[in-house]
Amino acid sequence: MLEQLSWKVGGQQGEGVESTGETFAVALNRRGYYVYSFRQFSSRIKGGHSNDKVRVSLKQYRTSTDYTDVLLAFDQDTIDLEAGEVRTNGIVIADEKFNPTAPDHVRLFAVPLTSIAEECGSAIMKNMVSLGASAAVLGLPIETFTEVAEERFHRKGQKVVDQNTEAIRRGYEFIKEAGGADPSFALKSADGTHRLFMMGNDALALGALAAGARVMPAYPITPASDVMEYLIKKFPKVGGVVVQTEDEIAAMNMTIGAAYGGARAFTATSGPGLALMMEAIGLAGMTETPAVIIDTQRGGPSTGLPTKQEQSDLFAGMFGTHGEIPKIVLFPATPEECFYSMGEAFNLADHYQCPVIVLTDLQLSLSKQTTEPFELEKVIIDRGSIATPDMLAKERPDHGEEFKRYLLTETGISPRAFPGTQGGIHKVTGVEHSENGRPNEAVLNRTNMMDKRLHKLEGVELAGSLVRTGDNNPQVAILGMGANIGAIDEACERLREDGITAAHVHLHTLLPFPVQTLQQSLADAERVVVVENNATGQLRHLMSHFGVEHPQVSSFLKYDGSAFLPIEIHHFVKGMF
């Protein structure tokens, strides 16, 4: 019996591929399995090949497999495009309707998915028939899917529930009768433990809510829109609001306004939207207003690859905006880290009074994964240095004097006062200003204010900036970020099986760049390989820029829009020895 398997469904976008994969994944997660589901789709509403690959296992993996055990095909294109990935003697379940043909190395079962669905009430239920067929192939009890179907359709009435459960049963029986129930494909039973199942975008949204965020202005853009859609449903329950703005410029400006007013506010976008926000991000830096921005990276430049994986916004996130301002850039790698990183982002923004960008990538944002329940007690809200009415009255007896919002301090951080705070009146402007916020272009004032802002993050290395796992004194250390965590972990395991010692260093903070910690983490390795989804090796350039040195550094780059597979990293590194 299998301890893990890989199942994939494919077809034309808009014919039920997403709902089929979602139902399959949710059902297996509820059985206590660890599930990793990653969907590849076209940047259009309907048409074009789409697939959803689901990895089911008894232990947690953070990436898709290199192969497929069972391929469910709704059209011949799926077989032509995906069957080469199916392992020898793997199974292809295809709709009999299109007279499927498949390569000799796989076993093809032509199942009348559409015909059975029509007999049960509607052709749209072919996805339910296919789930029943999958259950039979994998030796899963039919209840695995009927229970989810009952829950999903109960609002539509018992007739619809009965039709869908009948479709599942008919698909199950067809495969049984056709001899497709192979014991070698049966999954070992899971422990039944209840765990969450969500994508990174949902975890980001939930993390923002737990961190006290109550305002989200945003403009929809793939692949960040799910954050907005999630909170549209949740924010009203806690007095929060989501505002769909006319564009990303307005979203960023409204975020700054809400944050200045005292709310915890943030926005979410992708590369094109981040580019439009740059001037306003400079305003947040100049006015020392906390602001949190999620940038879910996708393929660029321009419209680029809106639905494909890439990690090419590092420079934009870190060095974007005209002029020089303090900025913090985080890069979580898992849904759990997405959740906790949002709390960290808001605390850092409030403490250092500067923009904080939370970078993710499409693979992390849109892949759905089994996730351990979040520990809400770990989310601590720290609003930073806020001037209270008592503090203001004590420090300034003459209430006619304006509050020095930008008071020069040793740390560069000065108390801020929310609008309406007695004694806290001050000016705010995007031009250079004095301590009380009035415009001031004097040479000494300019130098002092620039030094004040930039001094906030001088010499700072945030806790948890990176994580290192694996061997000591390794032959190779693989450096990565974001969703590549899973593929790198598995590649390291395979290298050890080949007798090559390996360590995995994963960055979680890009700015302030963890120079000392990264230098120490790579120092004992014979070689360093930097793995990233871009064409120019941005992370490797950052190492050079910030002075992280190593005598043997190589880059492994992938920028075709697809995610790294463990086998690719394994083969690349193994080829060096």
pLDDT digits (tens, 9 = 90+) for 505-521: 999 999 999 999 999 99
Alpha-carbon distances of 417 from 56, 420, 425, 452, rounded to whole Å: 51, 8, 8, 18
Q: Kindly state whether residues 336 and 421 are assigned to the same domain.
A: no
User: Is position 86 within any domain?
Assistant: yes
Coil, helix or strand for 180? coil
pLDDT recorded at residue 396: 62
pLDDT recorded at residue 485: 98
Q: Kindly state whether residues 172 and 268 are assigned to the same domain.
A: no
User: Is position 190 within any domain?
Assistant: no
pLDDT recorded at residue 117: 96
User: Is position 417 within any domain?
Assistant: yes
The dihedral sign for the CA sequence 181, 183, 184, 188: positive
How many other C-beta atoms are found inside a 10 Å radius of the C-beta of residue 205?
31
Tens of pLDDT, residues 411-465: 999 999 999 888 888 999 999 999 999 999 999 999 999 999 999 999 999 999 9
Q: Kindly state whether residues 276 and 398 are assigned to the same domain.
A: no
Helices 200-210 and 335-352: crossing angle in degrees, nearest 10, is: 40
Q: Are 539 and 506 a contacting pair, CB within 8 Å?
A: no
Closest CA to 255 of 316, 315, 213: 213
Residues forming beta bridges with residue 6, ordered by sequence position: 55
Closest CA to 489 of 63, 58, 36: 63
Ramachandran bin of 189, using left for φ above 0, alpha for ψ from -120 to 50, beta for the remaining angles: beta
Q: Kindly state whether residues 450 and 500 are assigned to the same domain.
A: no
The domain in which residue 220 lies consists of 198-372
User: Is position 377 within any domain?
Assistant: no
The dihedral sign for the CA sequence 116, 121, 124, 130: negative
Q: Kindly state whether residues 356 and 415 are assigned to the same domain.
A: no
Letter string b/e over residues 289-299, b meaning 16 or more CB atoms within 10 A of that residue's CB: bbbbbbbbbbb
Coil, helix or strand for 321? coil
Q: Kindly state whether residues 473 and 389 are assigned to the same domain.
A: no
C-alpha 296/C-alpha 143 separation (Å) is 37
Helix/strand/coil (H/E/C) assignment for every residue in 327-361:
CEEECCCCHHHHHHHHHHHHHHHHHHCCEEEEEEE
User: Is position 106 within any domain?
Assistant: yes
Distance of CA 352 to the CA centre of its chain: 25
Residue 495 C-beta-side C-alpha neighbours within 13 Å: 29
How many other C-beta atoms are found inside a 10 Å radius of the C-beta of residue 110?
18
How many other C-beta atoms are found inside a 10 Å radius of the C-beta of residue 46?
10
Q: Kindly state whether residues 160 and 267 are assigned to the same domain.
A: no
Query: At 270, which amino acid appears?
Result: S
Q: Which two tokens stand for residue 453?
A: 């802002």
User: Is position 34 within any domain?
Assistant: yes
Q: Kindly state whether residues 399 and 528 are assigned to the same domain.
A: no
User: Is position 508 within any domain?
Assistant: yes
**In total, how many domains does the chain have?**
4
Tens of pLDDT, residues 293-345: 999 999 999 999 999 999 999 999 999 999 999 999 999 999 999 999 999 99
**Regions of the chain where pLDDT drops below 70:** 395-400
DSSP string, 249-307: HHHHHHHHHHHHTT--BEEEE-HHHHHHHHHHHHHHHHHT--EEEEEEE-B-STT-BTT
Q: Kindly state whether residues 285 and 417 are assigned to the same domain.
A: no
* Beta strand ranges found along 393-552 (DSSP E): 466-470, 476-481, 502-507, 509-511, 527-532
Given 372, 407, 434, which residue is the final one in a domain? 372
Given 372, 396, 429, which residue is the final one in a domain? 372
